[in-house]
Amino acid sequence: MNVDLVVAGAGFFGLTVAERCAADLGLRVLVLDRRGHIGGNAYSEPEPETGIEIHRYGAHLFHTSNERVWEYANRFTDFTGYQHRVFTTFKGRVHPMPINLGTLCSYFGRSFTPDEARALVAEQAAEITDPANLEEKAISLIGRPLYEAFIRGYTAKQWQTDPRELPAEVITRLPVRYTFDNRYFGDRYEGLPVDGYTAWLERMADHPNIEVRLGTDFFDVRADVAGGVPVVYTGPLDRYFGYAEGDLGWRTLDFETEVIATGDFQGTPVMNYADEDVPYTRIHEFRHFHPERTHYPADRTVIMREYSRAADRDDEPYYPVNTARDRERLLRYRERAAREDGVLFGGRLGTYQYLDMHMAIASALSMVDNRLRPHFTEGVPLTGGGIDR
């Protein structure tokens, strides 16, 4: 193989590494991905009947306060002025999320000043002082009424487990905003790529020093492509080592896409469903992500219902479960990774961390700066490659 670096995985992490190594270091990079498209879970495509751009693996919203990441992203795409706002349905009424002063006023049916709202939540949260499970932890943070309305049913569907049987550490914080600010993210920069995620990602890969092979599993060609050159591996960490320390736990998502004969189904991009008897956790309506696209049909819309469940080996992993047993196994896998000379592990799957897109880009840029650049420009060996966190 006439390449300098192999990257397993064409998501944001892998493509950032490939683009920087090709464009900045002049390396020949081979990128492999088992899927038939680049971009990992950020992949977007037009729905064939309507032409409305959908995010095949659930809504992806770009936001960051990292100046370097924002500057880097803007090399490949312009961004719209989109600001993400989420609403939730509970018992036939709609409330803004995350919990803010508007949520408190709508749920309790009266107006509050910020001080009145703080006093109410503090009084209700005082019920639990020594939480022993997720439910008690949540109540100790926001009180029982808000927990039962907005957290209990949603959490039970996400985990398919009674919250009283989940450990308290699953929830570390539940912020309440005592203003009417209902922006979902608080980062300095936010928006959606003007031409969509796939166009952005294709521009990252469009370099003469980068070869992308889709529909190619790294493990099927490992012996042919990985000999003698460094590897950046972004696939499942446990799979790399043949599950020798046991399977790491993940949650996965199932999606049900439907074209509806109306110009507007729900009036907002994302509607959560907090009632436990509603089987899905939320509905995405993709036309609302790009209101500036006037060519979308006026009489049809595309919705996507999202369901959560435990992941098997053949499923696409989304959220690390991160139980005590998972953490024990992860430590053992990290020890194995540290002994893999010439292999660096990164990205969501390779580090067993949930990474937003901006976090994946930032982590990849750091890997190039701290590990790959010194190796290729100064000859620093990649012994004990290990996991970049």
pLDDT tens-place string over residues 333-366: 999 999 998 999 999 999 999 999 999 999 999 9
Catalytic residue among 173, 299, 314, 378: 173
Q: Is residue 40 over pLDDT 90?
A: yes
Averaged pLDDT for residues 174-202: 95
Q: What is the pLDDT of residue 166?
A: 85
Q: What is the pLDDT of residue 173?
A: 78
Q: What is the pLDDT of residue 171?
A: 84
> Of how many residues is the chain composed?
389
Q: Is residue 257 over pLDDT 80?
A: yes
> How many helices and strands, by DSSP H and E, does the chain display?
14, 16
Q: What is the pLDDT of residue 26?
A: 97
Q: What is the pLDDT of residue 224?
A: 85
The candidate with the shortest Cα–Cα distance to 370, out of 361, 380, 359, 360, is 380
Catalytic residue among 34, 144, 354, 373: 354
Give the pLDDT band of residue 1 (cuts 50, 70, 90): low
356 is catalytic: yes
Catalytic residue among 152, 251, 329, 348: 251
What pTM does this model have? 0.94
Give the pLDDT band of residue 332 (cuts 50, 70, 90): very high
Which pLDDT tens digit goes with each residue over 63-105? Answer: 999 999 999 999 999 999 999 999 999 999 999 999 999 999 9
Q: With pLDDT > 90 as the criterion, what percentage of the chain qualifies? A: 89
Q: Judge if the upstream peptide bond of residue 98 is cis by omega within 30 degrees of 0.
A: yes
Q: What is the pLDDT of residue 251?
A: 93
Average pLDDT, the chain: 95
Q: Which residues of 255-283 are buried (b: 16+ CB within 10 A; e: fewer)?
A: eeeeeeeeeebbebbbbbbbbeebebbbb
348 is catalytic: no
What residues contact 213, with CB distance under 8 A and at least 6 apart?
A: 30, 31, 32, 33
| Whether 87 contacts 97, CB under 8 Å | yes
Give the pLDDT band of residue 238 (cuts 50, 70, 90): very high
Q: Which residue has the higher pLDDT, 224 or 311?
A: 311
Averaged pLDDT for residues 41-50: 97
Which pLDDT tens digit goes with each residue over 96-129? Answer: 999 999 999 999 999 999 999 999 999 999 999 9
Q: What is the CA radius of gyration of the chain?
A: 22
Q: With pLDDT > 70 as the criterion, what percentage of the chain qualifies? A: 99
Q: Is residue 290 over pLDDT 80?
A: yes
* 291-296 long-range contacts, CB within 8 A, separation 24+: 292/80, 293/53, 295/51, 296/50, 296/51, 296/52
Averaged pLDDT for residues 234-248: 96
Q: What is the pLDDT of residue 107?
A: 97
177 is catalytic: yes
Q: What is the pLDDT of residue 388?
A: 67
Catalytic residue among 316, 336, 356, 373: 356
Could you say which DSSP state residue 168 is in?
A: G
| Whether 47 contacts 297, CB under 8 Å | no
Q: Is residue 321 over pLDDT 70?
A: yes
C-alpha to C-alpha distances, 228 to 259, 343, 352, nearest whole angstrom: 50, 11, 26
Catalytic residue among 152, 282, 287, 371: 282
Catalytic residue among 306, 326, 340, 388: 306
Catalytic residue among 20, 56, 152, 177: 177
CA distance 50 to 53: 9
Helix (H, G, I), strand (E, B) or coil at 331: helix
- Joined tokens for residue 214: 């889709």
306 is catalytic: yes
